[in-house]
Chains A and B, each alone.
Chain A
Amino acid sequence: MSKETASPSLLTAVKELPGNVWKSLFRNPLPTNDLERSSTSFTNFFLHIHPVKVHKNTLRPLYTLGLGLVSFFLFVILVVTGILLMFYYVPSTAQAYDRMLDLRGSVAFGTILRNMHRWSAHGMVAVVVMHLCRVFLTGSYKKPREFNWVLGVVLLLLTLLMSFTGYLLPWDQLAFWAITVGTAIAGYAPVVGKDIQFLLMGGSTVGQEALLRFYVLHVAVLPATLTLAIAIHFWRIRKDGGLSRPADADPTPPMEMMGAQAGSKPSLPEGKKTYGLQGLVRGPLTKVNNIPDNTVFSWPNLFMSELFVFVMTLAVILVLALLFNAPLEEPVNVMHPPNPAKAPWYFLGLQEMVSYSAFWGGIGVPGIFVGLLLLAPYLDRSPKGVGVWFSRDRLLANTIFLTFLAANIIFVIIGTFFRGPNWAFVTPW
């Protein structure tokens, strides 16, 4: 039929179709040797964000606790469940609450999707804060990871904003009054406060305009920003030389191997040195001769760890979603604030502080706290104590951090359990 005898017949093509499609999708078979392991990592779009080899230290579960991964996987769960919920939600004051009831009553899997979304959102705030603690307490924000730390703080703020904007959407009493209080706190910011409040609410009170604005922020503006920031955060992990590790994690090779003369400063042979592309990459990359290699292949070591963390995260969220229903209070009644009107738990520390002074509690103290977090790597420049939990060299920094953290947690606990009607002090027992 064809003049070119080399080309296979149509029949053969059809016969070999499944195999050929598969091979065009996945360039590599399941790897059996190191070359194929490397190849699998960098020929797959979803895997190539990983290095081909990772340091053993990166994989120590008790060092990272997997908190960054858990945050990311919670975000993935939130995006998926959030998109599904969008199919039934209408950001209108007349319909939003009824849609919540529909989700609970008539939409297939509506309850569990909303539960998953709610518990993942709470979980993400908690885990992101825990991730921040891990990074701080192991000194991982230090050079060269300063900017990634700053990005991390930005990610925390974005997570809180995501949570805050999502809070209004059910349009129940809890939502309405928490947002009324929250936007009023923003109004206390110096100079631009009133404008920010007006822009957020699209009017002078929380109403239809505010609901629409919060919806757009929650489903479009903030997720897009968060996705971009996460991408840069991940990218920077690799560009900054992988996860932090103790200075002695890689034994330094003996000097003679580096070609240095005994007793003299090692110098490069003039004019002979040429730099390849690898010269542009920071950190040890080329392994020559007997330099100790503490890395293992990402396939399967890193990927199996990630899969494990993902499955665990999803399992916990599923169990929570099956056991506990996301709260839904009475529909909005703009005339009767619930007594006491409480913000979501992670803002209760803020609300507690706000009950003493609106400016200092809502803007001043949190502003100083965030400012200190952002500046931490530029103020604390000692290179000591990186890669170890609670290093003795970091006693002062860790103590300051833990004091702030404990103060915050205490305020959250007081606001959650010890405040009753009219925000009066009550005992929960």
Chain B
Amino acid sequence: MRNIKYRFASLALAATLLATAASAQTDGSSQQSIERKKMESLWFSNTNNAAGAQLDNMGYYSQLGINYNHTDGDFQRTQLGTNNNGYGFSTDGGGQFENLKGAFMWGYFNYSHDKIHGARYNASLIDPLRGMPFYLADTNTSNWIHQSYELGMKAATPILGKHWILGVGVDYQNMQGAKQIDPRPNVQMSKFVVTPSVVYTVSKHAIGAHYTYSSRREDGTATNSISLMTQPVWEVVAPGFYNTAEIGSGSFSGLRAYNANAMGGGLQYSFIGEKIKFLLSGEYTFAVEDVNNNYTTPKIIGTTKENTWDVKANLMWSINPKHSLFAEVEYYDRSIDGIEYVQVWDNTYEVSQWIVISKNIRSNFSTLRTTAKVDYMKNRGNSYSWLAGIELQKEKLSDIYYLPRSTQDVENLYFTAHVKKNFFFGKNAILVGVNGGVKKNQSGEHTYSGNYADSDIYKNMVLRDFRYLQENALMWGAELGYTRSGLFNSRSSLFINVKYNHVAPNDGDGKAHFDNYSALVIKAGLTF
């Protein structure tokens, strides 16, 4: 464990050095200038094509910070807990390096440590809402401790042969999740993503393509520290569908070993004129994840087959040097099939293994999301004085368990608006921001034909989550930041930033089913 920490500390230091090494430019840097830089870098921020970042001409930046966050309230999914806090460290930075003939290099490192309080119905997964229907759920309300290290980089060659740019992105994440009450797994997760890419550019036009491969492993065994008591669990295969078992009893394995592979690719087209930047990008990912319950005599618990389409169009219009307009429309479609197996134990002495007799798609979980947003920015130097925007999002969640047929459909509309103002006082700046929004449910239907309508997990998780998903809500928040520039040199600055967001259920019948939810984030750091 200690070795892993040292290793990650070394990697963090390397990432920080990479970030700060890119800081040899003359303009001052601040959180807001970096925010603007990322908004203007359409390829960098909206695609996984690292080669395309070369076309953004984003210059350099680097930042590092520490953060503390706290959430409170039960207006969220049941498995996420009600009162969470955490802290973290993050750094990212990079850009085009002249001493590397204009090659683009960028990296990041994030560390987070979170304590989840009062989570329920999860004894397997670090992130129970990541789209994995096969997991163990238990009856005990429990805390979880999460710890995550993630790092990655994007690199791109200079333009080769006047037209070609090659790039690659690499990401790695290692995460641990430890449940604090029996049955308690210590879940280990690691994920590796590699994304080679290419761009062909002619004049103001460019087309790009990238390929993505990712491998993800997550496993942990739910065991009891108090061995004289068994713990009942549900082996969930879909919301409301499960098999009961006892941790610590018989030969039941509390292990859930997840093994995922994903492949995909994307195509991009961009036009970069003097005043207009336009990017059209589309990405498809196909992921398969197997779930086993044993390393030596594995019985496959289930498989998910995930198809994801993400199509996006981004526009940046530099109206004049002082005013910019940003627009984005996005279509996102994710469909996850849950495959269950019929298996028999072959007890032939020489064989002794689980044999798959047949498999079927038993469930599907679909997310359709359409988003449109517009932002206006009043520029000031390399930062901004005003940033205001609106966003409209329509989301449809559809779940089905084919036999016995059970369905859930929820359609919601979200509208949010935000405005931020930067006040400058010499080397000091104060950022004030407010935001607000509304979630309006369009439709919601839940039918259940399973045998466990009276069970605790069905009533208190499945139905509760359905109510949460279709609950109307009002959202508001505020942000306050302070920046002191020229701290060590003309580029560096120190910042501290506080964000608060509040979500309140707003049910039409006047009978709120939930309390409020609030989130506080305090972040302080340096930019270069």
Decide whether A and B are members of one complex.
Answer: no
* Residues of chain B at the chain A interface (Cβ within 8 Å): none
